[in-house]
Amino acid sequence: MICGNCQREIAEYSNFCYFCGARQHAAPAGPPRASRRLMRSVVDCKIAGVCGGIAEYLEIDSTLVRLIWVLLILMPVPLVPAFVGYFVAWLVMPQAPYPVQQVAPPTAAPHSTPVA
């Protein structure tokens, strides 16, 4: 990699130039990441998809999110806030679009020749 300030060769992983100390602005490696949005899940839903959507957003197992939500409901103090929070999340969170299934083109079956 070439330093943009002093035009000297430095290592590819460097954040700063060894010679002049200028900060290096390297292009991110790989394709750009898609931005994540908090949305109700359509594939992992039991009631409204709220817990499944939170689990997809946090990239954790949805069973863990459901277990935490049940524990919050079972505690004596947050009983009403847990129900109200779920209901508000149900109303506020948009529903995720259905996943697109790609259909593979039909493959031609091999022709069999009759044996005489």
DSSP characters for 10-77? --TT-SB-TTT-PBP-PPPSSSPPPPP---B-SSS-SSSSHHHHHHHHHTS-HHHHHHHHHHHHHSST
Model pLDDT for residues 43-97, shown as the tens digit of each residue: 877 888 888 888 888 888 888 988 988 888 787 776 677 778 888 888 888 887 7
Q: Which residue ranges make up each domain of the chain?
A: 36-97
pTM of the full structure: 0.53
Cβ atoms within 10 Å of 3's Cβ, excluding its own:
19
**Could you identify the residue written with the tokens 């949005």?**
37
